[in-house]
A and B are shown apart, each in its own frame.
Chain A
Amino acid sequence: MTEKINVRMSECEMASGDVILETLGLGSCVAICIYSKEKKLGGLAHIMLPHRINYEITEFRFADEAIFFMLKDFKKNGCENKDLVAKIVGGASMFEGLSNHIGQDNVETIRAEFEKQGVKIAAEEVFGNHGRSIWFDLNDGDVVVSTVYGATVEI
């Protein structure tokens, strides 16, 4: 039976095989999914902010760190960056007219980081003003994205 692993805000999970990684209720937060098709190995991080500025914070909240540690883990498992694909979901601006660029900053930082690391972004479901939940299937790398508004999509 498929194992389902829930990933909470500021958490990051790596798994392989018949596993679905899920994270629920993303707003301005972003789910970063990285996948190796060859190894059926996947990583999912639910990040809040682009960069760490305060080193006293113990939580795993930041996009740059999440990508760094996940790519390190892939490398340990014999995966090169060029063989990986990434998918990113979230980065919404939940309240209209609120000068809050967190979602956008998150997505732009993640794009830049993957570009720097030579990891291809295969698909995105980002921005907008609604929440999202995702299920990342490590059998094939597909990511199902659902929202309260509109249809569920697979990317």
Chain B
Amino acid sequence: MTPNKINSGNMDALREVFSIGAGHASGALSEMTGKKITVAFPSVKAYKIEDITYLFGAPETLVATVFLNIDGVFEEKKGSMSVGNFILMFEKDVAANFSSLIQKKKEVELDLMALDSLKETGNILSGSCLNAISEFLDFKLIESLPRAKVDMLGSTLDSFLATFAGDVDKVLLFRTSFLIESKNIESYLFLLFDPEVLTHIVKKIQKIQND
């Protein structure tokens, strides 16, 4: 299903589902850090693949990224299939500050230990976000082990985007951001779903709405 075939009612429903996931993730983040979290409005919108990088910054911006591959189990299909990506991203210096906050350390070097703490954060946030979505939609979303990387924004995102670039002009981007105000730490959370999988999700939402 290409994004322009999703009507506005379905978009609202997708946003609603994503809000539930984002809410749970921010709750988990608040619990981890012991800080108050400000959550940006969870947005669901179709973007041209080439424009997505620029929503977060210039392509050469240094970022620390944690990503998990999402697998889903659908009634219509046998077994599980890859359905998309869960991505948590910080600007590089912010990532170091965040890591020192959760490791309760003063150091701000983005070393292997810091990357591990980011992976762990990605794991916890994706778990709470995807569990909430799974429960609401009553199907299974399974996340892979987290992977982390510090590199340029454009370089980090292009292989995710390329996965969809052969089939569609635009993709639906689910995104929000979390701000730990007292520390001025902002992180971006976003989900990219395989366009075909969105068909299943929308069907499921319609079924829930009709019941």
Residues of A within 8 A of B (CB): 8-10, 24-29, 48-49, 52-54, 56-59, 61, 92-98, 100, 102-103, 130-133, 148
Contact = CB atoms under 8 A, between A and B. Distances in A.
Given A27-B159, A48-B161, A94 B166 contact: no
Given A48-B158, A95-B159, A133-B60, 4 more contacts: A8-B50, A27-B151, A94-B159, A130-B155
A27 B166 contact: no
Interface of B: 48-50, 53, 58-60, 62, 67, 69, 147, 149-159, 161-163, 165-169
A103 B159 contact: yes
Given A59-B48, A98-B147, A27 B155 contact: yes
B154 to A, nearest CB: 2
Given A25-B152, A92-B155, A148-B151, A10 B60 contact: no
Given A48-B162, A96-B147, A24 B62 contact: no
A49 B165 contact: yes
A49 B162 contact: yes
A96 B155 CA distance: 14
A94 B69 contact: no
A26 B161 CA distance: 12
B152 A28 contact: no
